[in-house]
Amino acid sequence: MNIKKLISYDLPALSLEDSGEKALHLMNEYRVFHLPLVQRDNYIALISEDDLLDWDTPEEPLSLAEFLTFRPAIAENTHAFEAMKVVKEFSLSVLPVLDQHQHYLGLITIDGLLSFIADTNAVKEPGAIIVLEIEQKNYSMSEIARICESNDVTILCSFVKTVNETGLQWVTLKLNKADVQSLMATFERYNYVIAEVFASENNKENLQENFDMLMHYLNV
């Protein structure tokens, strides 16, 4: 899915005539920390709450502001994973989307991105989450999948993160079963280090908890 399908049209854009005070009011109303500054369909800058709070004259129009140089954005045909990368890099609450002519189309939100990842990667489905700690040279998804299959467990989705300080990889597995004691014993028999295990029951509260834990491991 490209990012255009995740655009939210509920959030407003700021204009050059809007004051800093109005921008702060809108951010508070819509519970975001950023809003785009747009003139017609031209994306000028992404305004942050911090810049507005540091501005000595927020009663003046944004056209007089000196912080209109921050312009993170993503193209409409980009995948949602790339959008997540930009959001994390700049600690954004919203991300503007531009068409092929660099015209402003709308915004995507953190909630929209997380919902997409949850829906497409089955992270909210019932089942356990196992995090393996593996040396890069020993990483083999085919072997991990084979071990799971030998225990009649299916991997619904997986994420791999390299820990820069150690060079180790954290391999997060979302599985289709909550009872994974036998699978854990098999991993240990093959000398895998199990860093974390989140077993879930088939209820909404535990599914949300597991999802939140997974987002923590992905640092989003």
Q: Which domains does the chain have, with CATH numbers?
A: 3-118 (3.10.580.10), 121-217 (3.30.2130.10)
Pairing type for strands 74-75 and 104-109 reads unpaired
The answer to whether residues 158 and 142 touch, using CB atoms and an 8 Å cutoff, is no
The answer to whether residues 13 and 37 touch, using CB atoms and an 8 Å cutoff, is yes
Instruction: Extract the tokens encoding 26.
Output: 């809108």
Neighbours of 188 (CB within 10 A): 11
The answer to whether residues 161 and 93 touch, using CB atoms and an 8 Å cutoff, is no
Whole-model pTM: value is 0.66
Handedness of CA 21, 25, 31, 32 (dihedral sign): negative
Contacts of residue 51, defined as CB under 8 A and 6 or more positions apart, other chains included, come to 65, 67, 70
Per-residue pLDDT of the chain (220 residues; tens, 9 = 90+): 568 888 988 899 999 999 999 999 999 999 999 999 999 999 999 999 999 999 999 999 999 999 999 999 999 988 888 888 899 899 999 999 999 999 999 999 988 888 887 776 666 678 899 999 999 889 999 999 999 999 999 998 888 888 777 779 999 999 999 999 999 999 999 999 999 998 755 444 555 555 565 566 555 5
